[in-house]
Structure 1
Amino acid sequence: MNTSERKIIIFDDDEDIVSVCQYILMEKGWQVYPFADCNDPIAKVESIMPDVILMDNWIPDEGGIITTQKIKSSEHLMHIPVIFFSASGNIKNLAEEAGADAYLSKPFDLDALEKVVRYRLES
């Protein structure tokens, strides 16, 4: 698949984080779809069918854990890798509870963001 066909959803309500992530990921030729809330996440994910999802823990309204669990419990969406990201000190445990495929601590190194997304895109 051509890299420009790769689609990434970002669920995060922090505009600064979203802007940085969008810039970095779009520079790599990936399409980025940001959402500032996780209301009706299944419909949002189904409308885009992304290759990777970046999920913030503290996103309105249900939060990243419940939203990730909903996505991972949907038979036709469970294959989509979810990268959980948060400034929480126990990000690893939160990601495991959510059922995420990977995690990234905020603040993160921009190279680390690209590396974890690229790894999930290529897996």
Structure 2
Amino acid sequence: MTTPSKKIIIFDDDEDILAICNYVLEENGWDITTYNNCNNIVEKVAATMPDVILMDNWIPDAGGIKATQTLKATEELKNIPVVYFSANSDIQKLAETAGAETWLAKPFDLGDLERIITSVIKQ
């Protein structure tokens, strides 16, 4: 679908979510990297330099808000769009606090996932 391949990093400690997102997004030509924690987040993101990051709220160890704020405070990484995704009812407020570009509530429709990722990459 897209050439060259766009890169996405997914931070989520739910292996099922990682597997589903990985499968669906790879089918659409994305290059996916997944992590089940946000330890050493600057190093992980800098090593890949993705086009977009999907960030869970309840990600070990620091959590999604702190992890996103760390990325947004890092000069070479601050412009990478972050899609905050969580089952929290106040996800929009959490995403704003974190500094994410947008958010996606869990459980989500796979079409919505693709639409949101495409929209932030085109910004």
The reply to whether residue 25 of structure 1 matches residue 44 of structure 2 is no
What does 1:30-109 correspond to in 2, within 5 Å? 30-109=30-109
1:70-89: CA deviations, max 9, x gaps? 00011110000000000000
Distance 2:79 2:5 in 1: 18
Q: Is the 8 A contact 1:13 1:35 kept in 2?
A: yes
Q: Once the 2 structures are TM-superposed, how far is the Cα of residue 122 of structure 1 from its aligned partner?
A: 1.8
CA RMSD, aligned part only? 0.8
Paired residue total: 122
Q: After TM superposition, which residue ranges in structure 1, 4 or more long, deviate above 3 angstroms? A: none
Q: Give the Cα separation in 2 of the matches to 1:82 and 1:57.
A: 12
1:114 is matched with which residue? 114
Instruction: Among all aligned residue pairs of Structure 1 and Structure 2, give the percentage whose two residues are the same amino acid.
Output: 52
The answer for unaligned runs of 5 or more in structure 2 is none
Q: Residues 40-81 of structure 1, C-alpha deviation per residue, up to 9 Å, x if partnerless?
A: 000000000000000000000000000000000111100000
TM-score (norm 2): 0.97
Q: Which runs of 5+ in 1 are unaligned?
A: none
- Alignment check: 8 A CA contact 1:4 1:30 kept: no
Task: Tell me, yes or no, if the aligned pair for 1:3 and 1:30 is still in contact at 8 Å.
Answer: no
Kept after mapping to 2: 8 A contact 1:4/1:31: no
Q: 1:4 to 1:28 in 2, by over 3 A?
A: farther
TM-score scaled by length of structure 1: 0.97
